[in-house]
Amino acid sequence: MSVAPREPPAEAPHGGFRAFLVLWASQTLSLFGTLVTQFAVNVWLARDLFPSPHQKPQLALALTATGVAMTGPLIFGMPIAGAFADRHDRQRILVVANTVLTALSALLVALALSGRLSLAVAVPVLAVYALAGSFHSAAFDSSYGRFVDARDLPRASGMMMTSFGLSQLLSPPLAATLVGLPALLGGAGRLPQWLSSGIPFAFAADGLTFAIAACCAAALRFPPHPVTPRAVPRESLLADVRAGFRWILTRRPFVWLISLGSLANFTFAPLIVLLPLLARDRVTADAAARHLPYEAVLALANTAGGLGGVLGGVVVSVVGLGSRPRTTVMAICLVVLGAGEVITGLATQVWALAAGMFVGELLVAPLNTASYALWQTLTPPHMLARALATRRFIAQSAFPIGTVIAGWIAALVEPWAVVTASGAVLAVWSLIQLASPGFHTLEARMRAAAARPD
């Protein structure tokens, strides 16, 4: 059996790989802005709203609330966003989504400057921000692969994964600089009250990146929208959503792989949501001895993770994934990711915290590249946005669940213990999968299942 061939992406009329580079660079820039906003929100909570060590439970719950707001709608909106992207012009979706995100960033700037930004206001604004991001992601993830030849797809996927690492590497120091800009300009004594906080500068930078991304998406010529086979009737949007779920859930090898991704998101969520607490409280003595403020410690940890992500992305972009089955590559990457989380949780020194983040992010690019390459090559073109969005929904819906549980437990026990235990579970379970005989035939069974007609 063979998989239905993908429609060849248009080359010359749409700029081919050169156009992909423009799209990649502009959307990577908007990703930088998103991470700058996430960093600024964490600093705002830990430094401005709940600065006292005695407010650790309140801070943990606040980080959970904003974390869920910035991930929940993004993930749970994915099935609808994917079906919408399969039915409508993806270029237009990208332009509109980036424009909406620009407006939301401007709203955050206005709220911060006026002193009206509170946790109760920030959570719904960030939730709408995340929902717009789900439509952006659905359109972008199903578009960029159509700009390149099949032979260049791993390279393009590797570059996309590298962009996540680059954003993690460069966004924290940029965000720390923006947040600390008032101090560089002379502090509260020389500035008007409404400029005494650097948080609005970070939000403004995010809005600027979205505006640039919207202009670039509008200027490009996108490949034609995938044509739905005549045998497939045009149904409602909800019917398209159900079709995306049905295509995946009736193919058990795909479900097995997604379940591993769900576990990874569930167990990695505690590290992401509790890292600000680890950076503030777990390495306090070492940071004080090195005269490092909280913002610098948090930026260093995030930058180290970004450096690992960039290194892994560059390697996979240059040398590829080798001859190993993609599913085996993914399981090995998850073992390393779990080990990095354990190191981060146990760290009591700044360098160890940074080292754990580096190890944890090192193989994220190969992990996601292997996964994306499988889905891009096995999924019918007219189903691609729905399948990718449904896959992300099923796998990543575990992230906000893990975030809520981690925040709740961290309000009762030490956050480092939650992070360490989560990483250990991920590493051990992934090793068990590698030792399972059925796992070594998973990729072949996925190909057979994808070739089966509905």
| Nearest partner of 358 among 306, 409, 404, 408, judged by Cα | 306
Residues 3-17, mean pLDDT to the nearest whole number: 47
Residue 369 reports pLDDT greater than 70: yes
Q: How confident is the model at residue 7 (pLDDT cuts 50, 70, 90)?
A: very low
Query: Would you give the DSSP letter of residue 46?
Result: I
Give the pLDDT band (50/70/90) at residue 177: confident
Tokens of 96: 């509109």
C-alpha neighbours within 13 Å on the C-beta side of residue 384 = 28
Q: Residue for token digits 């989380």?
A: 341
Model confidence at 191, in pLDDT bands (50, 70, 90)?
A: low
Q: 85: closest CA among 74, 77, 93?
A: 93
What contacts 24+ positions apart, CB below 8 Å, involve 254-260? 254/391, 254/446, 254/449, 254/450, 256/442, 257/327, 257/330, 257/371, 257/374, 257/442, 257/446, 258/391, 258/394, 258/395, 260/330, 260/331, 260/334, 260/430, 260/433
Does 156 score more than 70 pLDDT? yes
Tally the C-alpha atoms within 13 A of residue 359's C-alpha that lie toward its C-beta. 20
Which one, of 353, 363, 271, lies nearest residue 315 by Cα?
Answer: 363
Write the DSSP symbol of residue 48: I
Please report the pLDDT score of residue 394 as a whole number: 83
Q: Which CATH architecture has domain 12-224+237-451?
A: Up-down Bundle (1.20)
Measured between alpha carbons, how far is 126 from 440 in angstroms, rounded to an integer? Answer: 41
Show me where the domains of the chain are located. Answer: 12-224+237-451
> Which residues does 107 contact at the CB level (< 8 Å), separation at least 6?
125
Which CA distances in Å does 272 have to 87, 148, 387, 402?
A: 34, 33, 26, 10
For 231-262, write each residue's pLDDT tens digit: 555 567 788 788 888 888 888 888 888 888 89
* Sole residue written with tokens 């180290």: 304
Angle between helices 415-435 and 326-346 (to 10 degrees): 160
Question: Is the separation of the CB atoms in 159 and 167 below 8 Å?
Answer: no
Q: Using CA atoms, how far apart are residues 323 and 128, in angstroms rounded to an integer? A: 42
Q: What is the pLDDT of residues 371-416, one digit of tens each?
A: 887 887 788 777 777 787 788 788 878 888 888 898 888 888 899 9
CA distance linking residue 170 with residue 355, whole number of Å: 17
Confidence of residue 6 (pLDDT cuts 50, 70, 90): very low
Tokens for 418?
Answer: 């939650």
Q: Quick one: average pLDDT of 85-93?
A: 85
Residue with tokens 């190993």: 324
* E strand or H helix that includes residue 266: helix 252-277
- Among positive and negative, which fits the CA dihedral 192, 197, 198, 202? negative
What's the rounded Cα separation, in Å, for the pair 302 and 84?
34
**Contact present, 342 and 423 (Cβ < 8 Å):** yes
Does the predicted TM-score (pTM) go above 0.85?
no
- The amino acid that residue 84 corresponds to is F
CA atoms of 113 and 115, how far apart (whole Å): 6
Which residues, other chains included, contact 353 with Cβ-Cβ below 8 Å and sequence gap of 6+? 278, 279, 282, 283, 297, 300, 301, 344, 347
Torsion (CA) 288, 294, 297, 300 in degrees, nearest 10: -150
